[in-house]
Structure 1
């Protein structure tokens, strides 16, 4: 049985925030402008992004509300109403609440009744894991359709007060992602039949390397942690915060592995016959920084598997890095703004640096007959 993406949608909170205004919204740590911001922004190439908080650090819209708005946009563009949805598969890095699951909160926001529910938790690849769960359910014939939503609200973690609570000095690994991540949500509707001109999912594959590599991106580890220590092991939440355990961290020393492992997975799929490079018409790759784009291209070129850069599509520079929602928002904007036609092949790549899980998907553009 084939599975099709018949509709997409996305939601971005607030107005675009340019590089000069980031610290107006997030705040200056201890009242001082960042010494790292300019260097990191020059490397990642992001010009504008969206935040769901204002400069007074009020949350203007919750994560589950953003997800629901993206889902509603997707349904509004579809042939189905909310009451016809049979499955909801939702993903985020951090929901509004620790418990219950994010999917439950999104279901309530959308008012979906009597559905099968799935929540996927992780970092950038969790959106694709939610998509794979829905795809598998339809492929098995268990459901005729599924709404898949990925949403991120990272800006809450980047308030200046969060860093000030962890002490006077902010290490590079803790500040790095402050200039990388932003907020937004995207959605896809999956159906077991094509609708108009849509995308058939040919396959979804992933390769996790958590057994071979340490944690690279995390929330919950203190600045100096042993492998068993967690923010929950501290006597009080205040002590965990003071130890920097509630800051989002990126071990930048490990980041180069994301390129190597991402390209390795691509080459493995080529060897398996799933990817035929000359037949790829469009590449949608979720890279978190412009720096990685050239690294990925160069490594593929060295391996004799380069996809010409004119076939690459990204919205990183205007939308920022929205984590697990990035590929969803990207596909929606690609569908709305780029030329594509029946028979074309679209390759999607989502490398994740959390503990190095890389996901790949191939789509074929199809047109419903008669």
Structure 2
């Protein structure tokens, strides 16, 4: 089966850093409470920058890293639950700003925090039918504008940012993906706050935690089985950066080596669909993703969606 290769990554993080102490001025919480329950020390909030601004900046960096030009892009996909408009899609705005060819399809994916993983499989499908060799996949969120600072259980968790990857088909880079959905709209989501037209995040924290620590280990196991690999064959496990306690629970439950799990939630908080591509770009920047390196990326999100993917570098 034809696989995919990630040939370039990029990220864009808004300049404004919001510490836990600053969050404590907006809601009834404190630095110790946030750190001990989430592992988060700070997050970044956009100041006037749109989702399309973040997505385009990350995409430009990924394309530069890949050494490709706009006329080589065969599809443009943005995973997000915080688009600038109901329509048009963020991807169409990125398409225009990057001057991609008119025959390049552009669309958004709304699968919550699992969006980037869904996007890998969708991008591969488009590439199998494309006349051009590369796909642009971006996870981008401006979550700060849908936070409810009266709800300390959610407002302390999230941050803004974008991560991007340039993909191409490859017979020498196997790709395995496992995707799923429980079909739930009550546990986690973003809807209009009661009596208003303002959208706000809602979450049943204890139930989401339970879902995550049960689902992620199963997803890792299912992905490994489908790929016909053992845990020893994986160099890095890249979990969706939602909460340090969730990742720690996954490590305990799976008995996998802690040093194989990449962690950066302390710097960014939960950036939803952007968290995995931001992590991958950091890893690439640090020289961790050498040719032949295998990463197993796994995530979960509203919907309730989940997904795992083995990507070989």
Do both share a fold (TM > 0.5)?
yes
Gaps of 5+ in 2: none
Question: CA contact under 8 A between 2:24 and 2:30: conserved in structure 1?
Answer: no
2:238 maps to 1:250: no
Partner of 2:42: 48
Is residue 41–residue 179 contact of structure 1 (8 Å, CA) maintained in 2? no
Tell me how far apart the structure 2 counterparts of residues 39 and 179 of structure 1 sit (CA, whole Å): 10
Name which of 23, 48, 55 aligns with 1:67: 55
Moved more, 10-19 or 326-335: 10-19
1: distance between equivalents of 2:291 and 2:65?
A: 19
Q: Relative to 1, partners in 2 of residues 1:62 and 1:10: Cα closer, same or farther, differing over 3 Å?
A: same
Query: Offset at 1:130?
Result: 2.1
Which of 179, 182, 196 lines up with 1:240 in the alignment?
A: 196
Q: How many residues align?
A: 310
Q: CA offset at residue 67 of structure 1? A: 0.3
Q: Which runs of 5+ in 1 are unaligned?
A: 54-58, 164-169, 224-238, 302-306, 366-370
- Which whole-Å deviations, capped at 9, do the CAs of 1:171-223 have from their partners, x for residues lacking one? xxx432210010000110012359xxxx935222212111xx55311122656
Aligned to 1:289: 243
Selected match of 1:299 from 250, 253, 265: 253
> What is the deviation of 1:118?
2.3
The 5 A counterparts of 1:154-233 are 154-158=143-147, 170=150, 174-192=151-169, 200=173, 202-210=175-183, 213=184, 215-220=186-191
> Which is richer in strand?
2
Q: 1:68, 1:333 → 2: CA distance?
A: 18
Contact 2:188 2:303 in 1 (8 A): yes
Which deviations, in whole Å up to 9, do the C-alpha atoms of 1:9-37 show, x marking residues without a partner? 0000114332223356xxx3xxxx51477
C-alpha distance in structure 1 between counterparts of 2:30 and 2:304, whole Å:
25
CA–CA distance in structure 1, aligned partners of residues 215 and 264 of structure 2: 23
Displacement, 1:251? Answer: 1.0
Give the RMSD, CA atoms, in angstroms: 2.4
